[in-house]
Structure 1
């Protein structure tokens, strides 16, 4: 049996999410908690325009979650530590017969971060796989869905600072990671980027997830975060990533057409340099749910996305509350591809 992760532009059966439970994601005040829950709900309702949405909720939030979510959002109960479904949930794959599979990576709190807890979240991959009726594909690789992007044809983008992180996979070499991604995702052509964005490399970051750096909207084309302001340390990061992508070839042996997605004009928030990124968006059937930032560059970036995904409606959701908590629209969602699910 050969597994393959489809492109995120492939038809989807549903979107999976998790509702933020009590804890550090909610912030320190009732107002901050309401803001977080409202933003998760806004993304869910935007995605619901294009596909069913299933939300995993902590049992303690049974009544509360429904006050934020419409009756059209399906709820599933399970204990949670946090709500980043892209990372705690499975990565869905298909085989040559159209069977649905779900890769359950080892999740250890983004490399055993001292501020993170993950005992409950480490079980969500298996739970979602079972509910989805997918064949369970176990992996010993510590990895998260936000740490990979594929084109569906064999190319995978990843970063050295995530899969080769000593806090995740001590002692593993590139070849070890590549072999596991080939087995689980059908990824024959890995493209290693050297690092992620600056804020994401700091204490509360993921240590370099690729899903705020670059993505492949169609084979042969790569959208890349472009920080144009030299005052921001990500200006140098963007230049480095673009150089690496220019030197790379995809699974077809072709050079990429590189499309730059401009970073917002805002450079800092109360915590320091921001990693606001339009790259971190959700593609769902006939739409794209994109993070916006109340920024002069919002319209330009949404236009780039509309061109990159022709025929899809681009819907913006204010993602500042998500990025303040360490992620974006892509980070809190996980797509389940539409397939003839046989068992």
Structure 2
């Protein structure tokens, strides 16, 4: 393995999400087989997320040309709208992973992307526009782009900025991503491209998560040595089993600095299911993931965005929204927690963290 010109060998590393940001990148929803009723309800939710984050940092929203005027007219003037074509709106996964250098340089990682599983198991086809987004952003910002030999989405990883990365076996070891790579090889590439020194492997992501168990829906770092974990009290619920598996790993793990982890439990909403009217407004295409009435959704309050001065969390269930908001307010005492109605985003298969990507300040 040639590591001569990898980011880590040049001194770059990935900062934690709770480190200072320069900006936040998003994409505009319009895909009719993902977002119901021509994506109009989803666009309203995306606008609300962008407005909340813009209290904290610059927000840039990438838009396909045919939706440019619509997006520009819906978004406030202080939110930047740029023409940046995509196949769908999951900026966390199709956008760049930014890395920084102690000398003040910013660069980005261009992972391989196969729409969460490739031609047989991926969520849609084609994904050619998504593959070009990272290259375009590197050109727009005038920064170096490192092409990584690894299929990986941004939602599959969380880092503490001090050498530790957390992920799931269900996703990164899935044969639909990197079938010829061992766990050791994948760890080595993560070290070389993100500047980390330790990987904590959780067994599985949230129940029925269509991304094959992205960690950002299950668990995330909220500070060095501290993580938030999706929690279900019901031991008979499949999510309850998954959460307990993860808790066992986390309680027995140490981070790259040798610290034991403190685990903060966030209750799951629901369970939440797709209603008849929510499924009826979608285009049904053979090339995309079906969304049917009665399907359980992988709702999670862990899928929040940490901004410079705000934490933007999804509002998903009135029975649990307040409890989740109180927990996050305790975890982030210097930031304002903003809840945004986010069921429309969940109906598309993800949530607030999935549709955002932070650009760190250097």
Checking the alignment, whether the CA contact within 8 Å between 1:21 and 1:80 is kept in structure 2 is no
> Secondary structure of 1:156's match?
strand
Q: 1:141 to 1:114 in 2, by over 3 A?
A: closer
Say which of 229, 234, 256 aligns to 1:229. Answer: 234
**2: distance between equivalents of 1:14 and 1:174?**
33
Q: Which moved more, 1:144-153 or 1:122-131?
A: 122-131
**2: distance between equivalents of 1:155 and 1:89?**
21
Checking the alignment, whether the CA contact within 8 Å between 1:264 and 1:293 is kept in structure 2 is yes
Match of 1:85 in 2: 91
> Secondary structure of 1:24's match?
coil
In the TM superposition, 1:1-343 aligns within 5 A as 1-27=10-36, 29-30=37-38, 33-112=39-118, 113-117=121-125, 118-200=127-209, 205-270=210-275, 271-339=294-362
> Secondary structure of 1:97's match?
coil
Q: 1:268 to 1:230 in 2, by over 3 A?
A: farther
Q: Which moved more, 1:85-94 or 1:155-164?
A: 155-164
Q: Which moved more, 1:296-305 or 1:206-215?
A: 296-305
How far off is 1:244 after superposition?
A: 1.0
- Could you report, residue by residue, the CA deviation over 1:298-323 in whole angstroms, capped at 9, with x for unpaired residues? 11111111111120000001111111
**2: distance between equivalents of 1:92 and 1:278?**
24
TM-score under structure 1 normalisation?
0.94
Checking the alignment, whether the CA contact within 8 Å between 1:100 and 1:134 is kept in structure 2 is yes
- Could you report, residue by residue, the CA deviation over 1:132-171 in whole angstroms, capped at 9, with x for unpaired residues? 2322111111001100000000000011121222111111
Checking the alignment, whether the CA contact within 8 Å between 2:116 and 2:123 is kept in structure 1 is no
**2: distance between equivalents of 1:15 and 1:154?**
23
How far off is 1:193 after superposition?
A: 0.8
- Could you report, residue by residue, the CA deviation over 1:24-59 in whole angstroms, capped at 9, with x for unpaired residues? 2222x34xx211111111111111111111111001
**1: distance between equivalents of 2:51 and 2:262?**
33
Checking the alignment, whether the CA contact within 8 Å between 1:2 and 1:183 is kept in structure 2 is no
> Secondary structure of 1:44's match?
helix
**2: distance between equivalents of 1:50 and 1:306?**
16
**2: distance between equivalents of 1:23 and 1:126?**
26
**2: distance between equivalents of 1:266 and 1:318?**
16
Checking the alignment, whether the CA contact within 8 Å between 1:286 and 1:313 is kept in structure 2 is yes
How far off is 1:335 after superposition?
A: 0.3
Checking the alignment, whether the CA contact within 8 Å between 1:232 and 1:267 is kept in structure 2 is no
Number of aligned residue pairs: 332
Q: Which runs of 4+ in 1 moved over 3 A?
A: 265-271
